[in-house]
Every structure is written in structure tokens, then in C-alpha cells.
């Protein structure tokens, strides 16, 4: 979706509402009260009515827009800007582009879109060969310490990074390389083994093979997947066995630094959701916009 196509497809509020309605119907409307999935559309009210219990569902209810009074057109523009640029966009720049008077409103809208992206990716688990490692992301400066004191004063978040990675062999040269598919990143609560085990259980199918280094917090991972292969951490491991997780970690860090500067700890997961969502759909091109609309049109009850 480029800006000209956007203006053509979504010239006003009604065109956005109609589009959103179609996407919700394609996903299926489920009654919050009785879980019935057959509904009538009340044209004048812009609401669905349950066939069984007559309970009404508004266009926004159940979705991430539920408590928002902002026009659909503003949400649509925001999603368009977020998906149009590969590099991403800061809340301040978004506020400027949208011409909206309040920074915090725009900031919150972007975070809601990021959480919809995260919920969408949570529907899938990684499978097959999965590389696993941890990345350390700066989440702020420790209170009371001077930033100049160097690395000691920075607070770091520990993030589990997982990447589906398949080994392929060149038929002619016999050279082996690893090809990547889907990625996931999870902010860990602490450095304990239990925290990483939970991340593995939540994000990787049991019938998988995990590749990792020999960190002591990984000793029990074979309980959570079929096979766990550990290799001593050295330069070779970094470029071969754990190639894609390391590429993803350094790209995510550069992306965060470039646009979002200092990310507060509790929002880090949301930023990583956006990063992974886009990375996992890197070949979608102009279709990405439509996919994000589908993610926001989903009701979570
Ligand atoms: Zn009902």
C-alpha cells in the first residue's frame, strides 16, 4: 500500500468503516453472550445482532479499538504509515504525519496496533529446527546513576530470541547453509532457567529440534522439545549454528535505537512484537497493510 493507493481506497470515514466491517465478517462474528456465530446486520445502527439472543455487537467491540473514540480513518492512516516504511516510524513522527494534536493519543494507538500484531503471532508456534539464544536489550538508565558512568548504569532486559532455521545443501558444491522462516522474541522475567523454559513451552511445538549454546539455563530444555542440540559457544557457533537469531538480535537493536531511542522496559515486548510481525511477513509487500487490518479486526473473546 502506497500513499496514493491509500487515498484512492480510503477517501473518508465510511470507506474505512465498510472495509473494517467486511474484514470482521470474514473473520466471523461471535456473540459475546451466547457464542452464536449467526448475526444480522442492522444497517442504520452499524451493529450486528445475534440471531439467537439478540445481543448487539458494535463495529469496534471486542477488538483493540473497543475503547477508542478515534475515527476509523485515523486508525487506518496510522496503520498505513506503520506498514509503509520498512524502517518504522516514531510516535512523534506519526503525530506530525497525522496532524493530531495529542502525542499520547497517537502513542497509545500505535501500542494497541503493536499488541494486535503480537496477539496474531501468538496464534502460531515455531516448529522444525529452531535456533535459540538470548539478547540483551537496553531498557533505560538506572535511577540515580549518571549515564556517563558507562555500561554499569544501564538496565538491560533479557530477551529469548527464537528462529525457525532449516539446513539446506547446495546440490553442486555440497556447501551447507541455514535458511530462516519465522521468528519470535520474548522478554524474559529474569535470568532463571524457569523463565526461558516457559518461553520455549509457549512458543515452540514439542515436536521440534532446538539448537542452542551450552548455557546452564538451557539444561532442562530437552523436557520441552523432542531434541535439544547444544554446542559450545564460539565464533563458529555464532555464524553457523545460531546465524539467524544473531542477525535478528542485531537488526532489532539497530531498529529500536534508530526510531524509538530509549524504550521503557514494560513496552519493550510491544516493540519486539512489531519487529517480529514485520520480519515474519517480510515478503508480503503491499499486502502487509491488509494483514494488519485483519489483526485489528479480530475480536478477542
Ligand atoms: Zn447471542
Question: Residues 159, 45: one domain?
Answer: no
How many Å lie between the centroid of ligand 1 and the Cα of residue 2? 40
Q: Could you tell me the pLDDT band of residue 41, with boundaries at 50, 70 and 90?
A: very high
Question: Residues 147, 109: one domain?
Answer: no
Sheet containing strand 47-50, edge to edge, reads 39-42, 47-50, 56-58
Give the Å distances, CA to CA, from 20 to 62, 66, 113, 297.
Answer: 13, 13, 14, 7
Model pTM score: 0.90
Would you say residue 250 lies in a domain?
Answer: yes
How many Å lie between the centroid of ligand 1 and the Cα of residue 70? 27
pLDDT at residue 146, as a whole number: 55
Would you say residue 32 lies in a domain?
Answer: yes
Question: Residues 14, 117: one domain?
Answer: yes
- CA 185 remoteness from chain centre: 9
pLDDT at residue 20, as a whole number: 97
Domain count, the chain: 2
Would you say residue 282 lies in a domain?
Answer: no
Has residue 183 got a pLDDT over 90? yes
How many Å lie between the centroid of ligand 1 and the Cα of residue 38? 9
Question: Residues 168, 239: one domain?
Answer: yes
Question: Residues 167, 241: one domain?
Answer: yes
Question: Residues 220, 134: one domain?
Answer: yes
How many Å lie between the centroid of ligand 1 and the Cα of residue 115? 27
Give 142's strand partners: none
pLDDT at residue 237, as a whole number: 76
Whole domain around residue 217: which residue ranges?
126-263
Has residue 175 got a pLDDT over 90? no
Q: Could you tell me the pLDDT band of residue 153, with boundaries at 50, 70 and 90?
A: low
Q: Could you tell me the pLDDT band of residue 26, with boundaries at 50, 70 and 90?
A: very high
How many Å lie between the centroid of ligand 1 and the Cα of residue 61? 14
Question: Residues 86, 139: one domain?
Answer: no
Question: What DSSP string runs through 145-210?
Answer: S-GGG-GGGEEEEEEEEEEEEEEEE-TTT--EEEEEEEEEEEE-SSSSHHHHHHHHHHHEEEEEEE
Question: Residues 143, 214: one domain?
Answer: yes
Would you say residue 66 lies in a domain?
Answer: yes
Mean pLDDT of 279-285: 93
Question: Residues 154, 255: one domain?
Answer: yes
Question: Residues 133, 211: one domain?
Answer: yes
Would you say residue 246 lies in a domain?
Answer: yes
How many Å lie between the centroid of ligand 1 and the Cα of residue 56? 8
Would you say residue 274 lies in a domain?
Answer: no
Has residue 259 got a pLDDT over 60? yes
Would you say residue 268 lies in a domain?
Answer: no
How many Å lie between the centroid of ligand 1 and the Cα of residue 21? 19
How many Å lie between the centroid of ligand 1 and the Cα of residue 57? 9
CATH code at position 190: 3.30.420
Answer with the residue of higher pLDDT: 155 or 76.
Answer: 76
How many Å lie between the centroid of ligand 1 and the Cα of residue 49? 8
Has residue 144 got a pLDDT over 70? no
pLDDT at residue 194, as a whole number: 93
Would you say residue 278 lies in a domain?
Answer: no
Question: Residues 174, 259: one domain?
Answer: yes
Question: Residues 108, 61: one domain?
Answer: yes
Amino acid at each position: 500500500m502506497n500513499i496514493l493507493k491509500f487515498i484512492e481506497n480510503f477517501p473518508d470515514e465510511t470507506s474505512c468503516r465498510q472495509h473494517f466491517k467486511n474484514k470482521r465478517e470474514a473473520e466471523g462474528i461471535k456473540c459475546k453472550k451466547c457464542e452464536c456465530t449467526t448475526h444480522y446486520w442492522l444497517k442504520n445502527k452499524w451493529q450486528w445482532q445475534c440471531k439467537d439472543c439478540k445481543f448487539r455487537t458494535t463495529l469496534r467491540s471486542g477488538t483493540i479499538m473497543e475503547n477508542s473514540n478515534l475515527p476509523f480513518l485515523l486508525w487506518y492512516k496510522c496503520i498505513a504509515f506503520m506498514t509503509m516504511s520498512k524502517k518504522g516510524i516514531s510516535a512523534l513522527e506519526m503525530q506530525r504525519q497525522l496532524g493530531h494534536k495529542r502525542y499520547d493519543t497517537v502513542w497509545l494507538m500505535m501500542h494497541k496496533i503493536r499488541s494486535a500484531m503480537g496477539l496474531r503471532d501468538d496464534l502460531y508456534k515455531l516448529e522444525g529446527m529452531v535456533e535459540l539464544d538470548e539478547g540483551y536489550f537496553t531498557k533505560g538508565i538506572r535511577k540515580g546513576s549518571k549515564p556517563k558512568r558507562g555500561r554499569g548504569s544501564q538496565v538491560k532486559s533479557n530477551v529469548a530470541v527464537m528462529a525457525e532455521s532449516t539446513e539446506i545443501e547446495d546440490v553442486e558444491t555440497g556447501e551447507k547453509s541455514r535458511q530462516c522462516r519465522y521468528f519470535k522474541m520474548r522478554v524474559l522475567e529474569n535470568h532463571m532457567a524457569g523463565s526461558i523454559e516457559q518461553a520455549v513451552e509457549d512458543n515452540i511445538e514439542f515436536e521440534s529440534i532446538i539448537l542452542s549454546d551450552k548455557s546452564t539455563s538451557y539444561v532442562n530444555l530437552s523436557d520441552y522439545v523432542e531434541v535439544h542440540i547444544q554446542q559450545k559457544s564460539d565464533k563458529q557457533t555464532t555464524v553457523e549454528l545460531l546465524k539467524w537469531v544473531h542477525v535478528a538480535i542485531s537488526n532489532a537493536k539497530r531498529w529500536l535505537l534508530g526510531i524509538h531511542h530509549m524504550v521503557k522496559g514494560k513496552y519493550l515486548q510491544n516493540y519486539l512484537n512489531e519487529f517480529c510481525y514485520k520480519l515474519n511477513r517480510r515478503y508480503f509487500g503491499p499486502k502487509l497493510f491488509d494483514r494488519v487490518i485483519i489483526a485489528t479486526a479480530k475480536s478477542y473473546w
